[in-house]
């Protein structure tokens, strides 16, 4: 070792009495440590170096004043991308949970958004996060083109989101956004127009179809209540509800099965649906409206969408769906051309649910936000 002041080669000055214990990667599943004696060095006073200088040998691969090898920290970071709790990761490497948290916090700079940049296309959706967020709901911001998470926003509250975008992104970055993919939640519209004035709004297909899906379910439950329990109609609608929700084009009409609810008659899935729809004209109307909306979305048919909006004499359960389609008509048509959906975000939300279930929830939003972004 050379003296940091005069640059001359230092003298060896014995070893430190107490060895240093360094945690390294496990060997054969067993906890492994290194017991290291550190060499001491001395540079006596001289004309070139008027003061006495003492130093202790440093260990390669270990941060100064740390007792955990860098290789262990790298493996901890790698395991953070797996669906494991921090306690499990800590037990794998014989370290504390706080050590794992510190490694995750050390990645904070990696996930900080660039204030001067946003992709031309963004999408955001809410997910249930925890008590540290208003209404227990947070937001995930994503690029739907490459499915990369941009950031996790603590709350979906409009005031909070406005403050977040204004403080985290410059005007140039926000004005560069051309397309925003979002669900049908109305408060988002004014927020998007104010923050991203150059962007067009694209309604997510899933949330559009869900409107008719819920209306059909409501119509089915209403018919079941009208017939009452312990009736043939009630049991049939309860047992075969999934066939009503399936796409008409995917119903099997070639294979026949004995149906207990229809006195063991041999019927195909398509014939079962026809018998169910014969129970109520309102149920049939809701089913046809639901199927036509699916067809319009799949075929990206603007003409069929206009027909659904103009259709009259609809049951009460479908009038709200019709108003929603009329209100968001331009956004739905825009989705036909862009072919963008919130599907990637829904997949990320599902991963978040799995992570939360694995770790039994999060107490700290900043730790959870980093974890979700890392995954």
Domains, the chain = 1-67 (no CATH), 110-203 (3.30.420.10), 206-327 (no CATH)
Q: pLDDT tens digit string along 284-341?
A: 999 999 999 999 999 999 999 999 999 888 888 899 999 999 999 999 999 999 888 8
Whole-number percent of the chain with pLDDT over 70? 97
pLDDT at 373: 67
Task: Read off the tokens for 345.
Answer: 């975000």
Most confident residue range from 239-243, 343-347, 352-356: 239-243
**pTM for this structure?**
0.77
- Number of CB atoms found within 10 A of residue 318's CB: 24
pLDDT at 120: 94
- 3-class secondary-structure state, position 127: strand
Task: Report whether 259 contacts 272 (CB < 8 A).
Answer: yes
Write out pLDDT tens, residues 225-269: 999 998 999 999 999 999 999 999 899 989 999 998 898 999 999
pLDDT (tens digit per residue) in 175-207: 999 999 999 888 889 999 999 999 999 999 888
Helix (H) / strand (E) element for 273: namely helix 269-277
Gap between the Cα atoms of 71 and 24, Å rounded: 7
Q: How confident is the model at residue 3 (pLDDT cuts 50, 70, 90)?
A: confident
Q: What residues contact 171, with CB distance under 8 A and at least 6 apart? A: none
114-143 pLDDT per residue, tens: 888 999 999 999 888 877 777 788 889 999
Long-range CB pairs of 65-69 (<8 Å, 24+ gap) are 67/20, 67/21, 67/22, 67/23, 68/22, 68/23, 68/95, 68/99, 69/22, 69/23, 69/24, 69/25, 69/34
The stretch 12-24 carries a mean pLDDT of 90
Q: What is the dihedral of CA 216, 217, 222, 225, to 10 degrees?
A: 150
Q: What percent of the chain has pLDDT over 90?
A: 47
pLDDT at 41 over 70: yes
Question: Do 36 and 20 contact (CB within 8 A), yes or no?
Answer: yes
Q: How far apart are CA 305 and CA 282, in angstroms?
A: 20
Q: What is the arithmetic mean of pLDDT over 156-165?
A: 90
């Amino acid at each position: 070792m050379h003296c940091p002041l005069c640059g001359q080669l230092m003298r060896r000055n014995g070893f430190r009495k107490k060895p240093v214990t360094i945690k390294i990667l496990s060997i054969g599943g067993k906890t492994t440590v290194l017991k290291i004696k550190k060499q001491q060095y001395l540079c006596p006073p001289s004309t070139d170096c008027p003061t006495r200088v003492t130093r202790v040998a440093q260990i390669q691969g270990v941060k100064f004043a740390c007792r955990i090898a860098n290789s262990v920290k790298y493996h901890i970071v790698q395991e953070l991308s797996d669906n494991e709790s921090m306690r499990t990761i800590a037990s794998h490497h014989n370290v504390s949970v706080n050590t794992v948290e510190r490694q995750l916090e050390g990645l904070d700079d990696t996930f900080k958004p660039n204030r001067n940049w946003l992709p031309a296309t963004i999408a955001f959706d809410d997910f249930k996060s925890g008590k540290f967020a208003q209404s227990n709901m947070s937001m995930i911001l994503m690029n739907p083109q490459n499915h990369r998470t941009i950031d996790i926003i603590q709350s979906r509250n409009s005031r909070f989101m406005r403050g977040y975008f204004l403080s985290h992104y410059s005007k140039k970055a926000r004005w560069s956004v051309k397309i925003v993919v979002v669900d049908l939640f109305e408060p988002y519209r004014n927020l998007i127009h104010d923050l991203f004035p150059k962007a067009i709004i694209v309604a997510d297909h899933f949330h559009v179809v869900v409107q008719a899906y819920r209306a059909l379910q409501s119509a089915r439950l209403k018919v079941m209540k009208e017939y009452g329990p312990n009736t043939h109609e009630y049991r049939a609608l309860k047992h075969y509800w999934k066939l009503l929700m399936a796409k008409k084009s995917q119903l099997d009409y070639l294979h026949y099965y004995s149906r207990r609810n229809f006195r063991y008659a041999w019927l195909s899935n398509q014939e079962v649906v026809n018998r169910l729809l014969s129970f109520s004209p309102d149920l049939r109307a809701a089913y046809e409206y639901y199927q036509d909306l699916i067809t319009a979305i799949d075929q990206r048919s603007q003409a069929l969408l206009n027909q659904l909006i103009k259709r009259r004499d609809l049951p009460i359960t479908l009038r709200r769906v019709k108003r929603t389609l009329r209100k968001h008509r331009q956004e739905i048509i825009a989705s036909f051309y862009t072919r963008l959906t919130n599907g990637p975000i829904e997949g990320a939300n599902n991963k978040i649910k799995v992570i939360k279930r694995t770790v039994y929830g999060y107490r700290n939003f900043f730790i959870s936000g980093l974890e979700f972004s890392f995954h």
